[in-house]
Amino acid sequence: MTFNNPVHQRQWQAFRANRRGYWSLWIFAVIFVLCMGAEFIANEKPLLVNYQGNLYVPVLQSYPETTFGGMFETETNYRDPFVRELIEEDGWIIWPLIRFSYSTINYDLTVPSPAPPSAENWLGTDDQGRDVLARIIYGFRTSVLFGLILAFASSVIGIAVGAIQGYFGGWIDLAGQRFLEIWSSMPILYLIIIISSFVTPNFWWLLLIMLLFSWMALVDLVRAEFLRCRNMDYVRAAKALGVPTPTIMWRHMLPNAMVATLTFVPFILNGAIIMLTTLDFIGFGLPPGSPSMGELLGQGKANLHAPWLGISAFVSLAFLLSLLIFIGEAVRDAFDPRKYLQ
């Protein structure tokens, strides 16, 4: 799987030929990188403080208020006008673009929360006075990370299971297929609801529970590809050469299965994000207070008089899912043999 393989080069060209998907990939990459540094974009702590000639980095390190001549030994609350005045008397503060973190409550609202968009809260606040834009940025990061980890883990498991079933066939295949049929007929949503009633679901618990059921998406694809490939002459030639089975699977058969897999991955990613949003929306997802698209949608539903909540959540979610679908379409084009084998 080297990039100077002409087949891969033509696939990359086919991917680029789909302009929409190509640009979606770029936009997604930029947003993804930005969101990874959400703390530097939306935070209640300043990026940099100069006080009495010393530089402080509150975004990375916590300083007690006494550092800046305050009274408390606790961490500085930079949003406190008193503290701000103290610092600015003998130095300066560089703030991030948005001066709210996802959990920051804006106590200075002049209207009851949820407050409509203003110069301070660009997309308004939610019903607890937290900045919507900050919560979307952090929620976006959680969703995408959750989706990526889940898609990656379920692909690895799914490919491994499919490969073993397809390569060995016979009883292993038969038993695996029957198990899949039973396992896939479980009502996932109810199971998650039941499980989350006796563990406190956090990010990793949710990931694990959903992984239990989402690895099956790729099994059939990979299995079919391996069943087809194991009778290829080059696989038989490798067997006749005495190449060990894991090597045959890895070197000769997996690359074929990767075509089907990579085409599928953006859609698995989408499914995972939607699933997490659904759980958050009905309240069985991430712990209360966590920033998430689903929670924001739920607030939008509960506060129909504050349309900025629902609209913001909807637009950002639709934007993310559309980007992924467009990328998925371009990947599908790239792996379409009619396009790259001409």
Partner 1 sequence: MSRLQIENLSVRFGTGEPVVNQVSLTLQPGRMLALVGESGSGKSVTAHSILRLLPPQAHVSADSMTFEGRNLLTQTEQQLRGLRGGRIGMIFQEPLNALNPLHTVEKQISESIAVHQGLSRSATRQRVLSLLEKVRLPHPESLLGRYPHQLSGGQRQRVMIAMALANDPTVLIADEPTTALDVTVQAGILDLIKQLQQDMGLAVLLITHDLGLVSRYAEDIAVMHQGSIVEQGLTAQVMQAPAADYTRHLLAAEPGGSPPVADPNRPVHLRTKDLRVWFRQGPKTLFGRKSWFRAVDGVDSLVRRGETLGVVGESGSGKSTLAMAILRLIESRGDIELDGTRLDPLNRRAMTPWRSRMQVVFQDPWGTLNPRMTVGQIIGEGLQVHRPDLNATERAEQVATMLEEVGLPATWQHRYPHEFSGGQRQRIAIARALILRPELLILDEPTSALDRSVQHQVLELLRDLQARHGLSYIFISHDLKLVRAISHQLVVMRDGKALEQGPTEAIFRDPQHDYTRTLIDAAFSTRVHALG
What is the residue whose two structure tokens read 């790239």? Answer: 334
Of the pair 110, 231, the CB lying nearest partner 1 is at 231
Minimum distance, C-beta of residue 151 to partner 1, in the bound complex (Å):
24
Minimum distance, C-beta of residue 21 to partner 1, in the bound complex (Å):
23
In the three-class reduction of DSSP (H, G, I as helix; E, B as strand; rest coil), residue 49 is classed as strand
Of the pair 84, 239, the CB lying nearest partner 1 is at 239
Of the pair 9, 322, the CB lying nearest partner 1 is at 9
**Whole-number Å distance between alpha carbons of 70 and 88:** 13
Of the pair 109, 243, the CB lying nearest partner 1 is at 243
**Whole-number Å distance between alpha carbons of 126 and 116:** 9
Minimum distance, C-beta of residue 257 to partner 1, in the bound complex (Å):
12
Minimum distance, C-beta of residue 146 to partner 1, in the bound complex (Å):
32
Minimum distance, C-beta of residue 232 to partner 1, in the bound complex (Å):
6
Minimum distance, C-beta of residue 237 to partner 1, in the bound complex (Å):
6
Is the peptide bond prior to 114 cis by the omega test (within 30 degrees of 0)? yes
Q: Which residues bind partner 1 (CB under 8 A)?
A: 1, 5-7, 232-234, 236-244, 251-252, 255
Of the pair 112, 242, the CB lying nearest partner 1 is at 242
Of the pair 255, 289, the CB lying nearest partner 1 is at 255
Of the pair 77, 256, the CB lying nearest partner 1 is at 256
Minimum distance, C-beta of residue 339 to partner 1, in the bound complex (Å):
15
**Whole-number Å distance between alpha carbons of 45 and 59:** 6
